[in-house]
Chain A
Amino acid sequence: MKTSNSKNKFGIADLIYKSVTEQLRPEEREALDLWLQKSENRLLYRELLSKEKFQRSMSVYESVNLDRMYTLFQKRLMKRGRVKKRAVRSMIYKYAAVFAIGLLATGYYLWNRGSEVFKGEESGVEIVNTIQPGYEKATLVLADGSEINLEKSKDSFVMTNAVVEVENKDNLLVYKNKEGKQNQEIRTPEYNTLHVPVGGIYSVVLPDGSTVYLNSASSLKFPEYFAGGERVVELEGEGYFDIVKNPSKPFTVKTRVRNIKVLGTRFNVSAYTEDELFSTTLVEGKVILGDEVVLSPGEQAVIPKSTGVAMVQKVETELYTVWKDGKFYFDQEPLDKILTKAGRWYGFECTFADPDLKDRLFTGVAKKTYSLSQLLDMIARTSKINYQIKYHKNENAYEVLITTN
C-alpha cells in the first residue's frame, strides 16, 4: 500500500469524524463534499454511521481487556527471551510545558526497566502492569440506614420526601428544599451520609447552596436541611468546602480532631483517621479552628496526632485543593506521602525495599484519570527508582513495591 493511499483513508476517516462532531474547517468541508460526490462514497458514509455497523464495532472495542492483552504480550516477550536487559543509558528528559501530564521535574531518564516487570509469580501473588483509576463511585446513606448506590442511580432524582428533593447528576448530589414549606414545621431534619470509597470523588450541593467536594475514602454527614441558627456537618477524611456566606447561621465542620467554624469561605480539610497529620487550608474568607486558631487566606493549620498542637504556616493553597479538579499535585513532597495519596485513589498499599526511598522528594502534577503505571512511570523516570505492582490474590489487594534501580 502506498503512502498516498494510507494518507487518503486516514484523511477520509478524519473528515467524517470532524463532520460528525461539527469541527470541519471550510476547506475540509469542501474536501469531504468532493469525496461525497461519488455515490458509492455517499453510501459508505451512511453505512459507517449506521447503528448496526457502529454498534458492532463498539461491542468489539468493549470486549477488549487491554490490561490482560498487554500482560499476555509481555509474557510472550519473556518466553521468547526477546527482552534483553538493555544497557542503562541516560537521556535528558525533556522538560515541563508537558501539558498536564508531565512531572515538572528535571532528571535523567534511566532506562532499564520493563524487563524486570514480569519476574513471574510468587504463590498467590501476581505481577500486574497497572491499576486503572477508580471512578466516581459513591453511596448515600439515609437516616433510616437505607443505602443508595449513586453509580446506579445516575442522572436521576435519588430521593424525594416531604421537605427535600435530591438530584444525582454528573457526580454531584444536589439537595433542594421544597419551595413554600416551612421545613421546621414539618419535622426535624434527618441526617444523610455521603460515602466516597477508595478511588472515588464526589460532590454535594447542600440545601443552603454550599458545595462540598469529597475526596477518595471520605464521608460527610449532613442534614437534609439546616434548621435553627447553625449549619453543622461532620467530616471523616478529606473535603473541600465552598460555603455560602450567612452571618446569622454560622457553618461548622466537625472532625475527630477539631471543629472548624466558618462564616462564608472556601477551605480544605484533611482529616483521615489513619493520617498522622490533620490539616486545614484556607483559600478565602476566615475560619476558626477549635477555639484557639484563626486562619487567614493562604494559611494552613497542621495538627500532628502526637502533639495535638496546631501549627500555622503559609502555603500554596492550590497544592491542597487541586484534588477536587481530578489532579494530583506534589510540591517537594516525600515519596511515601505521594504514594499514600495515590494509594487512596488507585487502591493499593505501598512498601519500600529501602526505607531511605521514602524521603525522596518529588514535584509534579498528574491527572487522576491516568493509570497507575503512568503516574509511577513519571516518578520513576526522574530518579533511580523502580516499581512493581503486585496483586495478592488471597487478600484481593494490590501492593506497590518501590525498589532502587
Chain B
Amino acid sequence: MAVALDTRPRRRKTSGPVIYFIALVLIAVMLVPVAYVILGGFRTNSEITVDPAGLPSTWNLSHYGDVLSSEVFWREVANSLITAVVTTFFVVALGLMASFVLARYSFRGRGFMYALFSAGLMFPLAVAITPLYILVRTLGLMNSLGGVIVPQIAFALPLTIIILVPFLQAIPRELQEAAAIDGCSRIGFFWRMVIPLSKPGVITVAILAFIQSWNSYILPLFILNNEASYTLPLGVQAFASQYSVDTAKVLAFTSLSMIPALVFFSLFERRIVGGLTGAVKG
C-alpha cells in the first residue's frame, strides 16, 4: 500500500524519482536470490564456504562448462521442452474450443459445464496426486512423458477456461452478426474472428501453461522414476543430491535450468503487455 501512496504527489503519466527508487528496491529484492544462484556457479567451493555472501573473485567458467557439456543436462532440457510444448498446445486448443462453447453457445447444461470446470480450481494436482499416480500406472503411462502431459493438460484447463470465457464473451455480438450476414458460420466465426481476437488471452494462458509445465515437480516425481525420462526439475534435484558437496556445480546446474523458462517468458511478456493494452473492448 505504501507503494501506491507514494505515487500520489505526481500528476498522471509522469513518474518521479521516488517511483524509480521504489522500483529499484523491488527489483533488487526480486533478483538477489537469483543472482546468488547464478553468481555462485562462477565461484569455487572453497570461496563459497569461506565467504558465502561474496562475489566471485575470479570468474570460474568450469562449472558451467561441465554442465553444458553433459549429456544428462541436454536430455533433461529436451524432456522438459517436449512436455511443456505439447502440454501448452493442447491446453490452448482444448481450452479455447471449450471456452468458445461456454461463452457463445446457449444450451441446456452450460451452467453445469462451467461450474464443473471451475470446480477443477479447487483441487490442483497435489490433492489428486496419489489416485492420479494409480490411474496413470493403470494406463501404462509410467516413466513416459505422456503420463505427465495428459494430466497436466487436464489440470490446466480450469484456469484456462476461467480466463478465456470472459474474453470470448467480450467480443461484440455485432461482430458475430456481421460475420453471419457475410455468410460466416459459427465455426467460421470461431476460426476467423475468435482466434485472432482472443490472441492476448491465449498468450496469457499459454505462458501460464508453459511455465507450470516447465516447473512441474510433484507429477514427474510420482510418474517418472527412470532417470532417462527425468524432466529438468527432477534432474536438478537429483544432481543436487548427487553432488551435494560440490555447491558451485549445483548452483551452475540450477541456474542453467532456469534460463529457458526465463527467456521464453521475457520474449512473450512484451506480447502480453502489448496484447493486453490493445485488448478487445467489451
Partners in one complex: no
Which A residues fall within an 8 A CB radius of B?
none
